């Protein structure tokens, strides 16, 4: 079985290894973003070493629906095209060029949370259980028949990084079980129940700006949701950006009269900021071009 893999992130690398190491499968080519477009994904991975190691052609592609790429795809004549870690929608011409055999991956329990920025949304929504899903790509968005799902719990202190790692482990497990089955013939998959479908909207780096008027627990959740490998939650102090990578909600401000966004504590661990509910966010890991904010300074433009 010949496979064409399209993607540009860690999940693409995981899929490449699984395909190349599964008996009966040949990783014919990997299509990925050229280096100059790497900024499209904050979690971009250079797949050139993976392609070289497994003898797969490396195809730089900016737009997967472009006629020239579709012609190249037909030349490769893959039995199945895997789209894993790719943000562009595969249009009808793409699916036709692939012979209708396109497998996608989504880090959510489809049909719940179709769409974008699913790992951050999982944490922001305080989901207790999530799943990784492999499915046939159809004319919709993340709506095709499900081929495999791996469910797991979302830990109370889950971060984007730890949740991302769990999804990568689940993807590897699912693929290594599914690939031998696909090699023995087509699998129809399980149709998704449209009555319970939900959609997640796109998030941009600017959505990581902290509003200190929010409760401390909600601000902490934002920090966990948009940390590595994403751009991070941030605020500002006198025009200097502070990116916060790790923090915990605490009660250290309950006896202090202060405004939301005001620094109420500096200690060996970091600093604490008063939030809208009277509690504080104790900042433990941060980056800034200047010093840590001064005691009693107000962050976030006075919010």
126 within 8 A of 215, measured Cβ to Cβ: no
Per the document, the length of the chain is 303
115 within 8 A of 200, measured Cβ to Cβ: yes
CATH class assigned to 205-288: alpha beta
Mean pLDDT score across all residues of the chain: 96
pLDDT at residue number 255? 85
Give the list of residues 6+ apart from residue 5 with CB closer than 8 angstroms, or none: 12, 15, 16, 19, 27, 29, 30, 31, 56, 81, 82, 84
Q: pLDDT tens digit string along 242-288?
A: 999 999 999 987 888 999 999 999 999 999 999 999 999 999 999 99
- CATH architecture observed for domain 2-200: 3-Layer(aba) Sandwich (3.40)
pLDDT at residue number 303? 44
Average pLDDT over residues 151-159: 97
Q: Which two tokens stand for residue 297?
A: 């300074």
147 within 8 A of 178, measured Cβ to Cβ: yes
Confidence band of 291 (pLDDT split at 50, 70, 90):
confident
Domain ranges of the chain: 2-200, 205-288
Residue 223 has pLDDT above 90, yes or no: yes
Percent of the chain with pLDDT over 70: 99
pLDDT at residue number 301? 59
Question: Quick check: do 2-200 and 205-288 share a fold?
Answer: no
Q: pLDDT tens digit string along 60-93?
A: 999 999 999 999 999 999 999 999 999 999 999 9
Percent of the chain with pLDDT over 90: 94
Average pLDDT over residues 29-40: 96
């Amino acid at each position: 079985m010949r496979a064409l893999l399209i993607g540009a992130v860690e999940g693409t690398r995981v899929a490449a290894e699984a395909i190349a190491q599964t008996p009966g499968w040949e990783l014919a080519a990997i299509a990925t973003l050229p280096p100059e477009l790497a900024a499209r994904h904050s979690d971009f991975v250079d797949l050139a070493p993976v392609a070289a190691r497994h003898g797969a052609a490396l195809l730089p592609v900016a737009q997967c629906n472009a006629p020239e790429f579709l012609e190249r795809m037909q030349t490769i004549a893959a039995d199945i095209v895997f789209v894993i870690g790719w943000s562009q929608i595969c249009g009808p011409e793409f699916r036709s060029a692939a012979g209708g055999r396109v497998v996608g991956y989504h880090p959510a329990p489809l049909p719940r949370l179709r769409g974008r920025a699913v790992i951050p949304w999982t944490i922001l929504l305080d989901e207790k259980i999530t799943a990784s899903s492999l499915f046939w790509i159809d004319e919709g968005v993340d709506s095709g028949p499900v081929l495999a799902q791996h469910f797991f719990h979302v830990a109370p202190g889950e971060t984007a990084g730890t949740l991302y790692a769990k999804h990568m482990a689940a993807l590897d497990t699912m693929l290594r079980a599914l690939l031998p089955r696909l090699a023995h013939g087509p699998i129809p998959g399980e149709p998704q129940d449209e009555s319970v479908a939900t959609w997640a909207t796109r998030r941009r780096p600017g959505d990581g700006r902290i509003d200190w008027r929010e409760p401390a627990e909600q601000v902490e959740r934002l920090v966990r949701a948009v940390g590595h490998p994403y751009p991070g939650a941030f605020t500002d102090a006198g025009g200097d950006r502070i990116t916060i990578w790790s923090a915990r909600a605490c009660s250290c401000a309950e006896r202090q009269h202060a405004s939301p966004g005001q620094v109420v504590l500096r200690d060996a661990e970091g600093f604490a900021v008063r939030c809208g509910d009277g509690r504080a966010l104790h900042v433990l890991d941060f980056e800034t071009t200047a010093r840590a904010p001064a005691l009693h300074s107000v962050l976030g433009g006075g919010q």
